Amino acid sequence: MASLDKTSVRDEVSRLKADFDRLGSEGKLSSESQAIMNSLFMIVELILAIFLERSTKKDSGNSSKPSSQTLKDESALSHPGSNGKGKSENKDQAGNMRVNEIVTISPVLTCEVCAQDLSGVPCVDHERRTRIDIVFEKVIDHVDAEIKRCPACDSTVKGVFPPDMHGPLQYGDGLKAFVINLLIGQMVALNRVQKLVKSMIGTVIAEATLLKFVLRLHQALANWEQQTTEKILHSPAINVDETSFRVDMKNYWIHVYSSNDLTLKFLHRNRGKTAVEVINIIPRYGGAIIHDCWPTYLSYPHCSHGLCGSHLLRELTFIVDTHDYAWACNMKRMLQETCKEVSQSTEKRLSDKAFANLQKRYRNILTHGKKELPVIPPKSSGKRGKLAKSDAHNLWERLKIHEAAVLLFAKNPHVSFTNNRAERDLRMSKVKQKVSGCFRVSEYAHAYCRISSYLQSMANKGYNPLVAIQIALAGEAHKVWGE
């Protein structure tokens, strides 16, 4: 063969197998030779399948590799009616924000054409041009408590300070919200936040004090986290996922649970069942969980499971690129068509008859796919471990075993086709890790998870972060989410 690619290799193997079958049918080969050669051809086909998968380049379009490590990902399904701008923001402004609005009239005194005096002519219309600017203002609020000596008992009496002024110097919620938003929401380094605040107010705030602002909000959100956990437990479906996170040069894991407007993130040293049991949401949950087929989630049979369609489509794309299997192409087309049909339906689900037809089509595709895949040789007696299988075999078996989870989105209107919601909620934590490297103390990593959960949840309701933080610091988060 002058050149070697997946098509020429498969054609050559097919040609050799056809020649061998022809010689066997003509009686030119013994039965022992036919048995040996059939076994060799079976092994060659399996090795060829694995070899082609190893030689096919993976990217974000046909695997779970992030787009930051690959070329631009153009494989995502477009959602009908989506403009990509997200939810509209709440127009409420921070309570300590002042707006100084000035309207200046530019009078017309004379006609530019004939120089006629127009000072007494009434105005018929206006054309407005606007300039918006920000002038940073340092607000210092002094409270002087009177000190008096009682002439009757000679006691010293001092005036009462406001309850939010506990010491000689404190910082207001507006400044705290600004700092916390920079550290948690905008992921600015601690030293840079310190320098920025100094340039604005002329006072150096110690890094330890800035971190205390974060811990103060972390403690203020403890009740909100419990309240949100109970709301998630009563949701019909939740998106779950996990990602690694470096803390004190050790590998931790952030576990996310998302439903509707709510997002909860928890930090744990483990990724698997130990962490899930400690967080104790899935063990108490009875609805549907949407995930990427992580075995830990599948170990909870009391929940119904939905598999992420985006992961399946990327894996099917890889199988089509590598082997050009008809079953993978048909399965990918079926999932895309079903997703579009479900999204366009008013009930966000298929009818019972349509779902039965979908199941029949699904099973027919897998039945034909089994004939396309090379046969797995039987495991030799005494051999330990699992048999080597190609990615195509593993994906086919997963689709076969988890049929109900793959098709749950077409049956349950609360189950989304993808798990993108949970992955989006985790994405900024990876950006945070790239900016700061890692957290040195686990306490601040836990605070980051709770505060970022709250900010993302409030952003889903349309609140900007400065308003959301001041609401929490004032202890009024329950007014937004309810008791």
- DSSP states along 125-147: ----------------------E
pLDDT tens for 295-314 read: 999 999 999 999 999 999 99
3-class DSSP string for the chain: CCCCCHHHHHHHHHHHHHHHHHHHHCCCCCHHHHHHHHHHHHHHHHHHHHHHHHHCCCCCCCCCCCHHHCCCCCCCCCCCCCCCCCCCCCCCCCCCCCCCCCCCCCCCCECCCCCCECCCCCCCCCCCCCCCCCCCCCCCCCCCCCEEECCCCCCEEECCCCCCCCCCCCCCHHHHHHHHHHHHHCCCCHHHHHHHHHHHHCCCCCHHHHHHHHHHHHHHCHHHHHHHHHHHHCCCEEEEEEEEEEECCEEEEEEEEEECCEEEEEEECCCCHHHHHHHCCHHHCCCEEEECCCHHHHCCCCCEEEECHHHHHHHHHHHHHHHCCHHHHHHHHHHHHHHHHHHHCCCCCCCHHHHHHHHHHHHHHHHHHHHHCCCCCCCCCCCCCCCCCCHHHHHHHHHHHCHHHHCHHHCCCCCCCCCHHHHHHHHHHHHHHHHHCCECCHHHHHHHHHHHHHHHHHHHCCCCHHHHHHHHHCCCHHHHHCC
Query: Tell me, what's the pLDDT at 72?
Result: 45
pLDDT above 90 (res 284): yes
Greater pLDDT, 151 or 386:
151
Residue 168 gets which letter from DSSP? Answer: S
Mean predicted confidence (pLDDT) in 236-243: 95
Q: For residue 417, what are the CA distances in angstroms to 205, 255, 286, 336, 474?
A: 48, 20, 19, 10, 39
How far, CA to CA in Å, does 445 sit from each of 109, 194, 422, 424, 431?
65, 20, 19, 19, 14
Q: Is residue 446 pLDDT above 90, yes or no?
A: yes
Q: Which of 93-97, 151-155, 475-479 has the lowest mean pLDDT?
A: 93-97
Domains of the chain, residue spans? 16-50, 222-378+389-481
pLDDT, position 40: 74
pLDDT of 453 over the 60 cut: yes
In terms of pLDDT, which residue wins out, 271 or 43? Answer: 271
pLDDT of residue 79: 43
Q: Is the pLDDT of residue 107 over 80?
A: yes
pLDDT exceeds 70 at position 153: yes
- Beta strands 250-259; 147-149: pairing state: unpaired
Residue 76 pLDDT > 50, yes or no?
Answer: no
Q: Is the pLDDT of residue 377 over 90?
A: no
93-117: average pLDDT? 79
pLDDT band at 390 (very low <50, low <70, confident <90, very high): confident
Q: At 459, list the tokens.
A: 């952003």
Q: What is the predicted pLDDT for the residue at 85?
A: 45
* pLDDT-wise least confident of 58-62, 363-367, 445-449: 58-62
Q: Tokens 């099917």 sit at which residue?
A: 316
Mean pLDDT, residues 314-329 taken together: 90
Of the candidate ranges 80-89, 213-222, 351-360, 367-376, the one whose mean pLDDT is the lowest: 80-89
Supply the pLDDT for residue 259.
Answer: 93
Nearest to 220 by CA among 481, 482, 473, 476: 473
Q: Is the distance from CB of 281 to CB of 229 less than 8 angstroms?
A: yes
pLDDT tens digit sequence for 30-61: 777 777 777 776 777 767 666 666 656 666 66
Range of lowest pLDDT (93-97, 154-158, 297-301): 93-97
Report the pLDDT value the prediction gives residue 378, as an integer from 0 to 100.
73
